Amino acid sequence: MSEEVSFLPYEEALKLVGAVMEEEHIHEPDRRVLTVYDKNERELCWFDAEEIMAELAAKEGSLPKKEDELKAKAVELILHQIPAWAAEQP
């Protein structure tokens, strides 16, 4: 039985999220994750980088060529997918 995940409203996610960092997966060295940190530098959640890029490509039609634009669009997508439980962490 799967549990439905609810997401924070975008405006609330903007207030909560301090950074999104691309990092190596702790258990899979060839896998990259996008770790979301709050404004106090606490880890909130993470996303699979390949899945986010695939979702972004599907949404945009293609991935932006410029690295800065690609990162900005990936973060924007992530801000719409922050699980509500991330705001409830101590």
What is the full DSSP assignment across 34-60? Answer: EEEEETTS-EEEEEEHHHHHHHHHHHH
pLDDT of 72 over the 80 cut: yes
What is the overall mean pLDDT for the chain?
91
Output the pTM of the full model.
0.87
pLDDT the model gives residue 2: 58
Going by pLDDT thresholds of 50, 70 and 90, the confidence category of residue 28 is confident
Mean pLDDT across the stretch 3-16? 93
Rg (CA), the chain: 13
pLDDT of 90 over the 60 cut: yes
